Amino acid sequence: MNRVLRAFCGLVGLWLGLAGQAWAEDVERWLVRMEHAMASISYRGTLVSMSNGRMDTLRVVHRVGEAGVRERIYALDGPPRELLRDHDQIRCLISGQSSMVVENPFPTRLFPGISREGLVGPESVYQLRLQGTDRVAGRAARVIEIVPRDRYRYGRRLWLDRDTGMLLRSMVFTPEGAIVEKLSFVEIELGASIADGELESDLENPARVARYEVTGGAAGELSASKTPRWLPENLPDGFRLVSVGRGDGNSEDYEHLLFSDGLASFSVYVEPIGGTSIVEQIEARGAMHIYTGTLDNQRVTVVGEVPAPTVRQIGRQLRRLQAPSEQSRD
């Protein structure tokens, strides 16, 4: 009898394991579908963002054309502020500040350069679940949940349009379940026909633009084959170095390291500070945390949608691998 019971339990365990694996693969398929939808569908909608005890209403206009993606995200309340994406270029316009143009040093991809492999399987740092259906902005949605297995990353609950896979709502939460950020469309028009005028800014003043671009051609391009000058002593499980880039222009000199676990990612920037003093600090922008600190007369900035202790740990554990020949050791 005991043998039969053990066999039965084994079968149930196997079935649960296979079912869990199938769920995870389903979730992974939904994630791929979501990325494809967000990169290939034109849409306009109104978005509500809640984080840090603050609520913002944003208007999003996103057009996919032959020339690439053009997008305008602008705030409907608070100080006027806008982001305009024109293929490889992003302009950030905030009332009271100089306009900022950030040139993309690497070509825009339809799909993220980060591989999703590792999200599914026993080694995965996440548990992936399908969580039924819901309704968001008047559309039927499939809910998926991604729960982290440790405290170095956030979990996510995503509401994806049942028909297209478009992201309609996202919620970022801590491993303990506390909500960090909510983004939700309250109204969205998928497959919208968007005129050029909708993508023009009301704020732009060409006379006051700070332009940031990486010069030197391929020098700034992110690449997995480049050797980094800096690396953290320890990386949380699942994260790996995806690419290395450098800004070698006259106005900017920095190293950019991109790490990812297949879902969450963070960037590390190391740049000379030129003798000025910097106070170590962490800032939150929604679920994004930004650590600023110093090391060997360099400013270290860690930016990512990961918890504050994670960016701090990475920033504090960064070490120089090889000193550039033109700089003397401190």
Partner 1 sequence: MNDRTDTESASSTNGNREPVSALVDGEMDRGGAEFLLRRLADDESMLEHWQRCHLVRACLQHEFEGPVSLVGRVQAALEDEASPERPGRMPSLMRFGIGGAIAAGVALVAVTGLDYRMGQEANSGAQLDDQPGFVSQSTALDRQFNAEAVPAGFGARSYDESDREAGISGSQQRINRYMIRHSQAAGSTGFNSLAPVLTAPAPVRVAPAASEESVNRADEDRR
Residues 211-250 that bind partner 1 (CB under 8 A): 212, 222, 243, 245
Q: Please identify, using beta-carbon distances, which residue of 39 and 130 lies nearer to partner 1.
A: 39
Least separation in angstroms between CB 197 and partner 1: 17
How many residues of this chain interact with partner 1, rule: CB under 8 A? 93
Q: Which residues, 80 to 119, sit near partner 1 by CB under 8 A?
A: 80-83, 85, 90, 92, 94-98, 100, 102, 104, 106, 108-114
Under rule CB under 8 A, which residues in 44-83 are in contact with partner 1? 47, 49, 51-54, 56, 58, 60, 62, 69, 71, 73-75, 77-83
Query: Token match 């949940």: residue?
Result: 145
Minimum distance from residue 43 beta carbon to partner 1 (Å): 9
From edge to edge, which strands make up the β-sheet containing 155-161?
126-136, 139-148, 155-161, 167-173, 179-190, 43-51, 54-65, 68-75, 81-86, 89-94, 99-103, 209-212
How far is the first Cα of the chain from the last one, in angstroms, to the nearest whole number? 73
Q: Fill in the per-residue mask, 294 to 313: x = in contact with partner 1 (CB under 8 A), - = not in contact.
A: -------x-xxx-xxx--xx
Footprint on residues 156-175 left by partner 1 (CB under 8 A): 167, 170
Nearer Cβ to partner 1, position 207 or 321?
207
CA distance 150 to 166: 28
Q: Nearest to residue 243, comparing CAs of 265, 272, 263, 264?
A: 265
Q: Between 2 and 275, whose beta carbon lies closer to partner 1? A: 275
3-state secondary structure string across 97-140: CCEEEEECCCCCCCCCCCCCCCCCCCCCCEEEEEEEEEEECCEE
Residues 258-297: x where in contact with partner 1 by CB under 8 A, - otherwise, as a string: x-x----xxx-x---x--xxxx-xxxxxxxxxx-x-----
